[in-house]
């Protein structure tokens, strides 16, 4: 089980549209990985889409707006296109969750890309890992 967990991937969504998304390994400690990439010490989970057994989730700094984190331009684009109900602050991380267990699961890249493109106005150019 640990071997599988070490190979699980997630997508980092930087604050600026000038920076491309980044594919990362979640590593042995998901929480430490989120803290490292987001730059926080308390996370929150925003469910972006759920269909059947899996959800696509966005990990955010729970205190992002309180800490004066910059508004994330990727999520601002989605908001202004009418694709999101609100903007998100700071760097975010996209992962998938198994609804049956509540655990983070292997990232289905094709599925996640389709959700981000079709629902949240991400583009093919954003996914140049």
Q: Is residue 126 part of a domain?
A: no
Q: Is residue 128 part of a domain?
A: no
Domains: count for the chain: 1
Q: Is residue 56 part of a domain?
A: yes
pLDDT digits (tens, 9 = 90+) for 46-95: 999 998 899 999 999 999 988 989 999 999 999 999 898 889 999 999 99
User: If you write DSSP's letter for every residue of the chain in order, what string do you get?
Assistant: -HHHHHT-EEEEE-SSTTSPPEEEE--S-HHHHHHHHHT-SSEEEEEEEEETTEEEEEEEETTTTTTTPPBPHHHHHHHHTT--SS--BS-EEEEEEETTT--EE---HHHHHHHHHHHH---GGGG--
pLDDT digits (tens, 9 = 90+) for 92-114: 999 999 999 999 999 999 999 99
Q: Is residue 129 part of a domain?
A: no
Predicted TM-score (pTM) of this structure: 0.92
Q: Confidence band (pLDDT; 50, 70, 90) for 5?
A: low
91 lies in which domain range? 2-120
Q: Is residue 88 part of a domain?
A: yes
Q: Is residue 125 part of a domain?
A: no
Q: Is residue 90 part of a domain?
A: yes
């Amino acid at each position: 089980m640990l071997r599988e967990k070490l190979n699980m991937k997630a997508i980092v969504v930087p604050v600026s549209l000038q920076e491309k998304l980044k594919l990362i390994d979640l590593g042995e400690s998901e929480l430490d990985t989120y803290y490292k990439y987001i730059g926080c010490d308390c996370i929150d989970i925003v469910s972006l889409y759920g269909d059947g057994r899996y959800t696509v989730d966005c990990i955010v700094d729970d205190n992002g707006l309180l800490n004066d984190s910059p508004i994330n331009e990727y999520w601002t684009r989605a908001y202004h296109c009418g694709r999101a109900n609100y903007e998100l602050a700071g760097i975010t991380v996209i992962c998938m969750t198994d609804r049956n267990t509540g655990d983070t699961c292997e990232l289905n890249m094709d599925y996640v890309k389709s959700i981000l493109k079709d629902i949240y106005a991400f583009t093919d150019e954003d996914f140049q890992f």
